[in-house]
């Protein structure tokens, strides 16, 4: 089984700073309202994604580890 991360951005907390897209550009994107969303449902664990969650100024990003058969 392969380990992945499921990312969630709390839309009520997100202020659209863009810190996540600058830190992990392949994993997050901003919509037309400048709110962040994960680019994919599941991502491979990476330091960039962990840093993006840690650096979010309003702690809107959560990471859940999931196992998936490949």
Q: What is the CATH number of the domain that holds 49?
A: 3.30.70.20
Number of domains in the chain: 1
Following CA atoms 1, 56, 17, 13 in sequence, which dihedral angle do they give, to the nearest 10 degrees? 90
Q: What is the pLDDT of residue 39?
A: 97
Structure tokens at 48: 């960039």
pTM of the model: 0.91
Q: What is the pLDDT of residue 57?
A: 98
DSSP strands (E only) in 1-70: 2-9, 28-30, 36-38, 42-43, 61-68
Q: What is the pLDDT of residue 70?
A: 60
What is the chain's pLDDT, residue by residue, as a tens digit (70 residues)?
899 999 999 999 999 999 999 999 999 999 999 999 999 989 999 999 999 999 999 999 999 999 977 6
Find out whether 48 and 56 touch, Cβ atoms under 8 Å: no
Give the position of tokens 């380990």.
3
- Domain ranges, residue 52: 2-68
Cα separation of 1 and 8, whole Å?
A: 22
């Amino acid at each position: 089984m392969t380990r992945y991360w499921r990312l969630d951005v709390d839309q009520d907390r997100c202020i659209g700073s863009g810190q996540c897209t600058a830190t992990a550009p392949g994993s997050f994107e901003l919509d037309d309202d400048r709110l962040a969303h994960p680019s994919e449902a599941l991502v491979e664990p990476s330091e960039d994604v962990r840093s993006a969650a840690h650096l979010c100024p309003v702690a809107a990003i959560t990471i859940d580890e999931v196992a998936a058969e490949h």
